[in-house]
Amino acid sequence: MDAFTFVRWAVKKMKLFVLYWRRIVFAKNHFKCPWYKKIKANLCGGFLADQWMLYDFDHNDRSEYLSEFDWYRSRYINEPFDFVCNNKIASAEILKQYVRVPESYMIKNRGYLSSFQSEEMQYEDAITLLKEKKTLFFKPYGKGKGTGVCRFTWLDEAECGVAGGQPAIDLKPVSEEDMLTFLKKNDNWFLSEAMEQHHYSSDIYDKTVNTIRFITLRDPQTHKFKVFFAVQRVGTKETIPVDNGSRGGLVSKIDLETGELTEARCLHNHEVHEVHPDSGAPIKGVVIPGWTQLKEDMLKLANNLPYMHFIAWDILITEEGFCIIEANTSSGVNIIQLWGGQRNKELGDFYRYHKVIK
């Protein structure tokens, strides 16, 4: 092993060590798992306390399940090209030559404001842009799981009773001064297009943008890309404006043959929902429009990135087709294992092939 390879190996091990303590040992315990079970979960394979409860290890065999630490190790499967999906800006710039992605308008990087045409901008330009576009997404470009994402909306005079209208952040009206303060106190963000979702999705719940997590991987046996797994994510009143399961949103498994949704589940409790808990709209039995064509198009897209062995796509279905919101170099295992452990199934075999697990 040469010096450069050794340094990369050492840095990777150090990152994993830090992640183990920050994201596993000190992770939030949504299920209020007893301390002795939490310690056992953490030490016996790198499971979260939540995973002990979510997978019901009091009655199920944990050797059948992939752990949180296994997921963290899987982030390196696409190395050295994992950066392609780890950076939201770079990912969008690469993908837009192949597929529809939300347009990016404005970025703040190390305190400097710029358009995506390298024109210097002022904070007040964000207000002008919002008045024009009516809705924008504010996204930190270095964070995941929907952390820090906000939806900016311009309310007209009839909606808010303020002459000329006013902005809102996550549906909560604020003054223009408050919005400018918000933009100034945060760094490393960008403003992007807010796309209108297909009515099938709004019919379930229209307060959040509800995306599909769609996983493609290169089959270790055939070396061809395949569709491995997909879920419909649906937000709730607690997750507005995003739908992320890690923030308490709902996930419904998609039948890969028919595009039909199952009941929805949550990562923070054992509740099962055939209808949405806030809107009352059906979830189970809903069929994703254009599902067969979507699968074909996504496999073509995966083939345009032959250096990526695993991609977890976040897809928004619109009335005109589909849009790639994000591409991720890995996917949390919880949304997959809500329907059964994967350690000794296809995902576990894929991880073994790439030496993520033994």
Domain ranges of the chain: 3-74, 83-100+198-328, 104-193
DSSP H helices, 304-344, are 334-337
The rounded mean pLDDT for the chain is 93
pLDDT-based confidence at residue 194 (cuts at 50, 70, 90): very high
What are the residue ranges of helices labelled H in the chain?
Answer: 3-19, 35-43, 49-54, 68-74, 83-86, 88-95, 123-133, 157-160, 176-185, 199-204, 291-303, 334-337, 346-353
Mean pLDDT of 69-86: 91
* Residue 168, pLDDT score: 94
Instruction: Work out whether the CA dihedral 223, 225, 227, 228 comes out positive or negative.
Output: positive
3-state secondary structure of 358: coil
pLDDT digits (tens, 9 = 90+) for 331-344: 999 999 999 999 99
pLDDT for the residue numbered 144: 63
CA 258 vs CA 224, 289, 305: distances in Å: 22, 10, 26
| Residue 270 · residue 286 · CB < 8 Å | no
Indicate the range of 77-86, 252-261, 314-323 predicted with least confidence. Answer: 77-86
The stretch 250-279 carries a mean pLDDT of: 96
List, for residues 90-102, the tens digit of each pLDDT value. Answer: 899 999 999 999 9
Q: Give the 3-state secondary structure of residue 313.
A: strand
When pLDDT is cut at 50, 70 and 90, the band that residue 278 belongs to is: very high
Structure tokens at 175: 């003054």
CA distance 298 to 353: 23
pTM over 0.75: yes
Banded model confidence at residue 14, pLDDT cuts 50, 70, 90: confident
Query: pLDDT at position 274, please?
Result: 98
- Whether the pLDDT of residue 258 is over 70: the answer is yes
According to CATH, the topology of domain 83-100+198-328 is D-amino Acid Aminotransferase; Chain A, domain 1 (3.30.470)
Structure tokens at 284: 């189970």
Rg (CA), the chain: 21
DSSP states along 186-227 = --SEEEEE-PPPPHHHHHH-SSS---EEEEEEE-TTT--EEE
- Residue-wise pLDDT for 303-313, tens only, equals 999 999 999 99
Which of 30-39, 80-89, 271-280 has the least mean pLDDT? 80-89
